[in-house]
Structure 1
């Protein structure tokens, strides 16, 4: 598992593009696992701070219960549609997966019982339409393989 800062150090241009997509809007999507193992998707606000990706959630929320039971997660950036007439000029799509690690609540938080987390990252992916717009470009980073770039027709 890795901190965000490690990815920034290993693949700075890739990390910058992924971060810009995640910061393009407030609401991201998080996937957690329900008690029966089926997926749950929810909205989440997350931020990059001190070399980490962090987020919090309200007391007694279902996603908080999910993560306290099973810390595996996936997170998707806000969706930004590419222009139909010029899809290769679109920003792409970013996602990551890893484990949620619960951290102490910030000292000034008024949210008693809320959960606060950082992400131990296992993998990150960035997908976008290539130029010309006849293929996809998939850039990724994984704890076992590092940064990679491939195309798919």
Structure 2
């Protein structure tokens, strides 16, 4: 299992950028898999705390059923469009994929289940300094850090 602390230790700059992008807005989007295998996206809040990426789901929520059946998820941070004429200043967007590991009941708020992320991939997509190339930086526990530029 790769916890968030593993990302911070292996790719500290990437982890810091993901944290900044996630902290830029409260609401994120999570993708889970329905019983028939089709994707479901839902709004969600999460936290990066104590070396863990945590998120919860209320009892009775479809995403809770999805995660209990198939723990794979993809979490997308808040999205901001590049400002015209200032594209090189766009901070990008962050994504984390993995498996949701049940970690007990939600302590604060409505009844639900808290999950810890077993991180399988972290990605930041941005633009280069001239805003002419798409830059995809990613990390996996098996491959490590990689940077790809696309024109």
The TM-score range, normalised by the shorter chain, is: over 0.9
- Give the 3-state SS of the residue equivalent to 2:105 in structure 1: coil
TM-score (structure 2 length as normaliser): 0.95
Figure out how many residues of one structure are paired with residues of the other and give that number.
151
- Choose which of 128, 138, 142 in structure 1 pairs with 2:140: 142
Alignment match, 1:152: 150
> What is the 5 A alignment of 1:49-60?
49-60=49-60
Cα deviation 1:9-53 (Å, max 9, x = unaligned)? 111111100111011111000000000000000000000111000
Over the residues paired in the alignment, what is the CA RMSD in angstroms? 1.2
Alignment match, 1:21: 21
Structure 2 CA distance, aligned partners of 1:115 and 1:65? 11
TM-score (structure 1 length as normaliser): 0.94
Structure 2 CA distance, aligned partners of 1:109 and 1:96? 24
Q: CA deviation at 1:110?
A: 5.4
Unpaired runs of 5+ residues, structure 1, are: none
Q: Which moved more, 1:79-88 or 1:69-78?
A: 79-88
Unpaired runs of 5+ residues, structure 2, are: none
- Give the 3-state SS of the residue equivalent to 2:20 in structure 1: helix
